[in-house]
Chain A
Amino acid sequence: MILGLTRSWSLAGYSIAAVIILPLIALIVQAAFPDEAVFSHLFDTVLPTYIANSLLLMLLVAMGSLLIAVPAAWFVARCEFPGRRYFQWLLLLPLAMPAYIVAYVYTDMLDYAGPVQRALRAAFQWSSPHDYYFPAIRSLGGAAIMLSLVLFPYIYLLARTAFMEQSSSLLHASRIMGCSPWRSFWRLALPMSRPALAVGVALVAMETAADYATVSYFAVPTLTTAVYDTWLGYGSLTAAAKLSAIMLLVIFTLVGFERFARRKQELFQKQSALNDSDRYCLIGFKALGAWFYCSTLLFLAFLLPFIVLTGYAIEYFEQSWDERFWQYSWNSLYIAVVVSGICLLLALILMFVRRVSPRTTDSLPSRLSSTGYALPGTVLAIGVLVPLTYLDFAINDVYDWFGARGPGLVFTGSAIAIVFAFTVRFLAIAIGSLENSYKRISPSLDMASITMGQTPKQLLMRVHLPLLRKGLLAGALLVFIESMKELPAALLLRPIGFENLATYVFQFVSDEKLEHGALAAIVIVFVGLIPLIYLNRSLEHTS
Chain B
Amino acid sequence: MSTLTIENVFSDYQGQVILNGLDLTLQQGEIVALLGPSGCGKTTLLRAIAGLQPISQGSIKINGDVLSSDNVFIPSEQRGVGMIFQDYALFPHLTVADNILFGVKGLNKAERQSRLDEMLELVKLTGLSQRYPHELSGGQQQRVSIARALAYQPQLLLLDEPFSNIDAQVRNEMMLEIRSILKQRNVSAVFVTHSKDEAFVFADKLALFKEGCIIQHGLAEELYAQPTDRYVAEFLGAGNYLPVTVNSCMEVSSPIGVLQSSASINYPVDYQGQLLLRPQQVELVADEQGLAVIVERRFLGTVCHYWVKVEEHCLEVRSQLLQLSPGQKVNLFAPAHPLVIF
Hey, which bits of chain A sit against chain B, CB under 8 A? Answer: 1-4, 358, 442, 444-445, 447-455, 462-463, 466-467
Residues of A within 8 A of B103 (CB): 449, 451-454
The complex places the Cα of A463 from the Cα of B79 at a distance, in Å, of 20
A445 and B102 contacting across the interface, CB-CB below 8 Å: no
A4 touching B76 in the complex, CB below 8 Å, given contacts A445-B91, A454-B103: yes
With an 8 A cutoff between CB atoms, is B165 at the interface?
no
> Of A2, A442, A454, A467, which is within 8 A of B93 by CB?
A467
Residues of B within 8 A of A454 (CB): 77, 102-103
Residues of A within 8 A of B51 (CB): 3-4, 451
B93 and A452 contacting across the interface, CB-CB below 8 Å: no
Residues of B within 8 A of A1 (CB): 52
A3 and B79 contacting across the interface, CB-CB below 8 Å: no
- Nearest A residue to B160, CB-CB: A444
The complex places the Cα of A442 from the Cα of B145 at a distance, in Å, of 15
A455 touching B77 in the complex, CB below 8 Å, given contacts A444-B85, A448-B83: yes
- Can you pick out 11 interface pairs between chain A and chain B where the beta carbons lie within 8 Å of each other? A4-B76, A444-B86, A445-B91, A447-B52, A447-B76, A448-B148, A450-B76, A451-B50, A452-B103, A463-B91, A467-B92
The complex places the Cα of A1 from the Cα of B105 at a distance, in Å, of 23
With an 8 A cutoff between CB atoms, is B81 at the interface?
yes
Residues of A within 8 A of B102 (CB): 449, 452, 454, 462
B53 and A447 contacting across the interface, CB-CB below 8 Å: no
B87 and A442 contacting across the interface, CB-CB below 8 Å: yes
A447 touching B83 in the complex, CB below 8 Å, given contacts A3-B51, A454-B103: yes
Distance in angstroms from A459 CB to nearest chain B CB is 9
With an 8 A cutoff between CB atoms, is B307 at the interface?
no
The complex places the Cα of A451 from the Cα of B51 at a distance, in Å, of 8
A4 touching B85 in the complex, CB below 8 Å, given contacts A453-B105, A453-B152, A454-B103: no
B77 and A3 contacting across the interface, CB-CB below 8 Å: no
Hey, which bits of chain B sit against chain A, CB under 8 A? Answer: 47, 50-54, 73, 75-83, 85-87, 89, 91-93, 102-103, 105, 148, 152, 158
Residues of B within 8 A of A444 (CB): 85-87, 89
A3 touching B76 in the complex, CB below 8 Å, given contacts A447-B50, A449-B102: yes
The complex places the Cα of A442 from the Cα of B88 at a distance, in Å, of 10
Given A3-B75, A451-B158, 9 other A-B contacts at CB below 8 A? A3-B51, A4-B51, A447-B52, A451-B79, A451-B81, A451-B82, A452-B148, A452-B152, A467-B93
Residues of A within 8 A of B91 (CB): 445, 448-449, 463, 467
The complex places the Cα of A340 from the Cα of B6 at a distance, in Å, of 50
A2 touching B85 in the complex, CB below 8 Å, given contacts A452-B102, A454-B103: no
Residues of B within 8 A of A450 (CB): 52, 75-77
The complex places the Cα of A466 from the Cα of B86 at a distance, in Å, of 23
Residues of A within 8 A of B81 (CB): 451
The complex places the Cα of A4 from the Cα of B51 at a distance, in Å, of 9
Residues of A within 8 A of B148 (CB): 448, 452
B54 and A445 contacting across the interface, CB-CB below 8 Å: no
Central interface residue in A1, A3, A452, A467, by most chain B CB within 10 Å = A452
A3 touching B73 in the complex, CB below 8 Å, given contacts A451-B50, A451-B82, A454-B103: yes
Residues of B within 8 A of A448 (CB): 83, 85, 89, 91, 148
- Nearest A residue to B88, CB-CB: A444
> Of A2, A442, A445, which is within 8 A of B76 by CB?
A2
Residues of A within 8 A of B53 (CB): 3
Residues of A within 8 A of B89 (CB): 442, 444-445, 447-448
The complex places the Cα of A462 from the Cα of B73 at a distance, in Å, of 25
- Nearest A residue to B78, CB-CB: A453
Residues of A within 8 A of B79 (CB): 451
A-B CB proximity, top 8 nearest: A452-B103, A4-B75, A444-B89, A448-B89, A444-B85, A466-B93, A450-B76, A451-B83
Distance in angstroms from A396 CB to nearest chain B CB is 48
- Nearest B residue to A459, CB-CB: B77
- Nearest B residue to A463, CB-CB: B91
Residues of B within 8 A of A4 (CB): 51, 73, 75-77
Residues of B within 8 A of A358 (CB): 54
- Nearest A residue to B74, CB-CB: A4
- Nearest A residue to B94, CB-CB: A466
The complex places the Cα of A466 from the Cα of B94 at a distance, in Å, of 9
The complex places the Cα of A78 from the Cα of B310 at a distance, in Å, of 66
The complex places the Cα of A454 from the Cα of B81 at a distance, in Å, of 12
Distance in angstroms from A464 CB to nearest chain B CB is 10
The complex places the Cα of A307 from the Cα of B43 at a distance, in Å, of 64
The complex places the Cα of A358 from the Cα of B148 at a distance, in Å, of 26
A2 and B83 contacting across the interface, CB-CB below 8 Å: no
The complex places the Cα of A454 from the Cα of B78 at a distance, in Å, of 9
- Nearest B residue to A445, CB-CB: B89
> Of B47, B75, B105, which is within 8 A of A2 by CB?
B75
A447 and B152 contacting across the interface, CB-CB below 8 Å: no
Residues of B within 8 A of A445 (CB): 89, 91
Residues of A within 8 A of B93 (CB): 466-467
The complex places the Cα of A2 from the Cα of B47 at a distance, in Å, of 11
Central interface residue in B73, B76, B80, B82, by most chain A CB within 10 Å = B76
The complex places the Cα of A344 from the Cα of B53 at a distance, in Å, of 31
- Nearest B residue to A443, CB-CB: B89
Distance in angstroms from A413 CB to nearest chain B CB is 45
The complex places the Cα of A1 from the Cα of B54 at a distance, in Å, of 11
